[in-house]
Amino acid sequence: MKGLLYLTFNYILYHRWKTAVMIACLFLTAILPVTISGLIRSFEKSIYTRSEMTPVVIGPEGSALDLTLRALYFNRGSGEDRLKTISMSEQEEVLRDGLAIAIPIHCLYEAKQFPIVATTGDYFRFRNLKIAQGEPLAILGECLLGADCAGELGLVPGDQLLSDRPKLLDLAGDYPLKMTVAGVLAKNGSPDDKGVFVDLKTAWIIQGLGHGHQDLQSPEQDENVVRQDGQIKALPSKVVPYTEITESNIESFHFHGDTSSFPVSAIIAVPKDIKSQTLLEARYQNNDRGVQFVRPVESIKEMMSVLLRVRQFFMINTILIAVSTLLLTALVLLLSLKLRHGERETMFKLGCRGGTIIALQVMEMLIVGVVATVLVLAVSWFGSSLAGSYFDSWITRGGS
């Protein structure tokens, strides 16, 4: 056996290019289907795990899948759909009769291309998110960063992060808000790792529904008032809203209107039991508020069924390529056997048994096969391990 191994390795080393080509052929044939299967499994696992943990999502009418991706993956989507929201009062509807816990999610803006996710403290408990550094959200204008977001941006508690301006050339549009990093969440291998979590009110300030500015009621600011009509004061352009919430100006921040009418992207509902879920679903059937009730698992299943149909076509194609490659490999081996006829004859004459000669050639094939397999598994494993976080951020970015 030792002698056979020695001979085999010498043969492989001597014919290293031929061996490398054979390994490359097998590797290239197997790598695509194996990796894609692995990636799809990883994607399925990742996406199903999150959707199964989120029993119900309530949000604006439209695509159930878009709503699911927005609520679970903070996908901002594109086009007009991304601006569709429901009223915050919908939370009360979900909470009514104690059928479920209602967790609002508002996800319209970004900071350095990471999604700003406005929610309540229930969300962190629901997703079991722990704080690794710093403190939880306490005051307006603070944010909690997901582990990947903090890592990629190099931010730690106490640093500041500016929200992205949604429309760069719209000078009359929303102003970016400089947020203070209150803490960093522990990594949990989900889209939460890439989130910038803020309080709902902070998001509404970014959206322009609330703001803070110089106190124009004080007598010393009268010179700044351009025109006054009763309680309504016209401000000159030099009085701009604050773009940062600090201890000194936090008192000046206020909202115009009833916050229960303010928008949220979706509400995650966690029903107490199946019966509560059914009752809740009934409540949303044929409602005229433009709100829909979605079971994320079903939306994801629908999406995956399309993906799996595509995979089937791909696999058929791959099988055909694999068969042709294996036939070519067999041809190469047969030609190799023919070329080595003299060697076999010599071995036989020198007293080697036929089985040993066959074992020698089988061992070479095995080594080629094993090396190709190991390479395929290693690359596939590496790809799959990267895929989890990649898929999450891919979905979060809206598939771009």
256 binds other proteins (CB under 8 A): no
Stretch that binds other proteins, among 131-139, 249-257, 352-360, 388-396 (CB under 8 A): 352-360
Q: How far is the CB of 330 from other proteins (least distance, A)?
A: 22
Q: Single out the segment in contact with other proteins by CB under 8 A; choices: 70-78, 194-202, 296-304, 339-347.
A: 339-347
Compute the least distance from the CB of residue 343 to other proteins, in Å: 6
Alpha carbons 61 and 90: distance in angstroms, whole number: 13
Q: For residue 22, give Cα distances in angstroms to 16, 18, 326, 366, 384.
A: 10, 6, 10, 12, 25
Residue 46, Cβ neighbours under 10 Å: how many? 21
Name the one residue in this structure whose structure tokens are 């609002």: 104
Q: Which one of 120, 343, 367, 389 is in contact with other proteins (CB under 8 A)?
A: 343
- Cβ nearer to other proteins, comparing 79 with 351: 351
Residue 168 binds other proteins, judged by CB under 8 A = no
Please tell me the count of residues contacting other proteins according to CB under 8 A.
22
Q: Is the dihedral of CA 33, 75, 86, 48 positive or negative?
A: positive
Residues 3-42 that bind other proteins (CB under 8 A): 3-4, 6-7, 10-11, 13-15
User: Which residues in the chain belong to E strands, given as ranges?
Assistant: 56-60, 86-87, 100-105, 110-111, 114-119, 131-134, 142-145, 160-162, 178-185, 196-199, 210-211, 227-229, 232-234, 254-255, 263-264, 266-271, 291-294
Tell me if 94 sits within 8 A of 279, measured CB to CB.
no
362 binds other proteins (CB under 8 A): no
Q: Which stretch binds other proteins (CB under 8 A): 28-36, 185-193, 313-321, 337-345?
A: 337-345
CB of 339 to other proteins, least distance (A): 10
Strand ranges in 259-339 using DSSP code E only, listed in sequence order: 263-264, 266-271, 291-294
Among 348, 370, 381, 385, binds other proteins (CB under 8 A): 348
In whole angstroms, give the CA distance from residue 226 to residue 201. 29
| Beta carbons within 10 angstroms of residue 263's beta carbon | 19
Q: CA-CA-CA-CA torsion for 28, 34, 37, 40, nearest 10 degrees?
A: -70
Query: 10 or 246: whose CB is closer to other proteins?
Result: 10
Per-position x/- string for 53-92, each x denoting binding to other proteins as judged by CB under 8 A, each - no binding: ----------------------------------------
Q: Return the number of other C-beta atoms located less than 10 Å from residue 142's C-beta.
A: 21
Closest approach, Cβ 335 to other proteins, in A, equals 16
Distances (CA, A) of 278 to 8, 227, 228, 286: 67, 56, 54, 14
266 vs 363, beta carbon nearer other proteins: 363
- Is residue 341 part of the contact set for other proteins (CB under 8 A)? no
Least Cβ distance, residue 347 to other proteins (angstroms): 5
User: Which residues are at the interface with other proteins (CB under 8 A)?
Assistant: 1, 3-4, 6-7, 10-11, 13-15, 342-343, 345-353, 356
